[in-house]
Amino acid sequence: MPAVVTDQFRITNASNFVDSVLDSNNSYYVFLGLPNPAVTGFGRTSNWNSSTPNPVDNLQYLTHYRDTSLFGKKINSSNIRRVVKKHTWAANTKYDMYRHDYEALSNPAPNSQTGSLYKTNYYVITSEFKVYICLDNGSSATNLKGNESLDEPTFTDLEPAAAGTQNDGYIWKYLFTVSPSDVIKFDSTEYIVLPNDWSTTTDAQIQSIRESGDSDINRNQLKKVYIADGGSGYNGGSTATRSEICNILGDGSGAKALVTVTSGVITDVVVTSGGSGYTFGIVDLTPINNIGVEESNKAKLIPIIPPSKGHGFDIYTELGADKVLVYSRFDDSTKDFPTDTHFGQVGIIKNPSQFSTAAGILTTPQFSSLSSIKLQSSIDTSDYNNLIGVSIAQTVTGGTARGIVASYDQDTFVLKYIQDRSLNLNQTTNDTTDYQGVDLRGGVLSFESSDASINGSGSVSFDASIDKSFSGITTTIGNKQINLGVEFTGGLANPEINKKTGDVIYIDNRKKVERNIRQKEDVKIILEF
């Protein structure tokens, strides 16, 4: 049976997601992960950078994404926004006007040639970061596509108005101005960022726009009647020009329009009274002698129905906000975000738990998902650049503990690592195929605070000892006390999250990014519903 998921469903889902993120009962984090994507192993390929694979969406991989995560930063009200496609105002461009009736087969938008309002260019952002919707583009019976826009709108009046003095026929409705802070954080070449709290904010300017659009105040007035066909033979076929006030009928009341006829053709329609309560309308052309006009010559006038709550009352619906932008910055300001590591994945995780099994959902501003080892002395190598991705092992009770180096701090001697199934699966097939030595390698064992050395192998080989006497969260180097970010006991520290918890709701595979103390990573994720 034919069915469609409507635009309104997508807009609602986008709003629901934002509400869920801002709900104090939830914790959403942007995380970076997979420090060694370009090697052979489960979830990795040797040609990762030249042919980055698509993420796999199944339960097995969702747990793997958690295992290989490095660190994360919480999403809050300051770094999440609804966004819409960017249409930057440009002179000599034809814009479609706001219309409720665009439809792919029978009535596509004249300029954009799309079958959906939200896919047209009926709104713009200006060079001053002001956002307007187009209520009239100067269209007429002889100019169905309208005019080129000549004057950039700059006004912030509550009522729709023309821009400039070149009489291009455009009428614009001012909505809002993107705040400087949102420009800095969220602006992009593709999207306009919307205020996050349009319906609740006490910002005076937004309040005035919202209230001016409120149907309880402006009665949801009609603003425009589009002339799809001016017809012929009106006014008795007279060549004279005549204007008459005509009622706009339908399911509302009170709307009137001044209709002008020249040589029997309707050439202009101006709404003189917007009325109220319309979801459809039809202009009563009786006053201009429509009786006797042949059926094939009848005019087609379309009253444009504004949003149900009026222009500017609900910009998320008016602009079709079915996308959400999430922003996060990772820098070198904390030991949770080591700058010597690499990453090949960006993701969003919902409601991971604290490491302790008795603890609840993590609520901290950020987290490290890496296990840590405090070494007695520096790793003896000159090739620190190639430490990331090196395999480490320790002989422990019951066998061998294994991990993969994700970071090493030459000043504090702290080595951070991940443990994922690539270390324990069949090393040839990277799956659960039986193999010789599975009894020794197949189980995951933890590193121990003992005299047993840590051995590194791969691009860099080394032997190192655990500083099992070290406990605490700080260490002293010279006269400077360094916060290590996690609590050590006997030279070992657990991650700050339980990596078996949390719902991975987004994953993006990227070419390997090498972090550096001199760089920051600005992550912008677009979620489209």
Rounded to whole angstroms, how far apart are CA atoms 289 and 67?
77
Helices (H), 2-80: 7-22, 59-67
Tens of pLDDT along the chain (529 residues)? Answer: 788 899 999 999 999 999 999 999 999 999 999 999 999 899 999 999 999 999 999 999 999 999 999 999 999 999 999 999 999 999 999 999 999 999 988 999 999 999 999 999 999 999 999 999 999 999 998 899 999 999 999 999 999 999 999 999 999 999 999 999 999 999 999 999 999 889 998 889 899 999 888 767 667 789 999 999 999 999 988 889 999 999 999 999 999 999 999 999 999 999 999 998 899 999 999 999 888 899 999 999 999 999 988 899 999 999 999 999 999 999 877 778 999 999 999 999 999 999 986 779 999 999 999 999 999 999 998 888 899 999 999 999 999 999 999 999 999 999 999 999 999 999 999 999 999 999 999 999 999 999 999 999 988 999 999 999 999 999 988 888 989 989 999 999 999 999 999 999 999 999 999 998 888 999 999 999 9
CB 448 within 8 A of CB 367: no
- Structure tokens, 122: 């009926």
Can you give 481-498 as a three-state secondary structure string? EEEEEEEEECCEECCCEE
Total Cβ atoms within 10 A of residue 316: 19
- Can you name the residues that pair with 273 across neighbouring β-strands? 256
- Structure tokens, 314: 């609900």
Q: Supply the DSSP symbol for 119.
A: G
Angle value at C-alpha 202, between 306 and 208, nearest 5 degrees: 40
- Structure tokens, 262: 């020249």
Rounded to whole angstroms, how far apart are CA atoms 107 and 300?
13
Q: Quick one: which of 46, 21, 41, 52 has its CA closest to 391? A: 41
Rounded to whole angstroms, how far apart are CA atoms 223 and 225?
7
Q: Quick one: which of 100, 316, 88, 106 has its CA closest to 191? A: 88
**What was the pLDDT predicted at 491?**
97
**What was the pLDDT predicted at 357?**
66
Q: Quick one: which of 529, 523, 84 has its CA closest to 347? A: 523
**What was the pLDDT predicted at 332?**
77
**What was the pLDDT predicted at 218?**
66
Where do the structural domains in the chain lie, given as residue ranges? 7-79+325-357+498-528, 83-220+310-317, 232-278+286-298, 371-494
**What was the pLDDT predicted at 479?**
87
Angle value at C-alpha 69, between 65 and 74, nearest 5 degrees: 110
CB 117 within 8 A of CB 131: no
Domain 7-79+325-357+498-528 belongs to what topology?
baseplate structural protein gp8, domain 1 (2.60.340)
Its pTM stands at 0.91
Q: Quick one: which of 296, 351, 411, 353 has its CA closest to 23? A: 351
Q: Which residue has the tokens 């205020």?
A: 195
Rounded to whole angstroms, how far apart are CA atoms 527 and 223?
34
- Can you name the residues that pair with 246 across neighbouring β-strands? 257
Rounded to whole angstroms, how far apart are CA atoms 264 and 255?
24
Q: Detail the DSSP E strand segments found in 410-491.
A: 414-418, 454-457, 462-464, 472-477, 480-488
Angle value at C-alpha 126, between 122 and 127, nearest 5 degrees: 160
Rounded to whole angstroms, how far apart are CA atoms 199 and 316?
10
Classify 467 as helix, strand or coil: coil
**What was the pLDDT predicted at 412?**
93
Helices (H), 27-93: 59-67
Rounded to whole angstroms, how far apart are CA atoms 66 and 369?
8
Rounded to whole angstroms, how far apart are CA atoms 339 and 350?
25
Q: Which residue type does 292 have?
A: G
Rounded to whole angstroms, how far apart are CA atoms 225 and 218?
18
Which residues, 6 or more positions from 350, have their beta carbon under 8 angstroms from its beta carbon? 26, 27, 28, 502, 503, 505
Q: Quick one: which of 343, 332, 374 has its CA closest to 488? A: 374
Classify 435 as helix, strand or coil: coil
- Structure tokens, 141: 């019976």
Q: Quick one: which of 328, 364, 324 has its CA closest to 343? A: 328
Q: Which residue has the tokens 């504004």?
A: 306
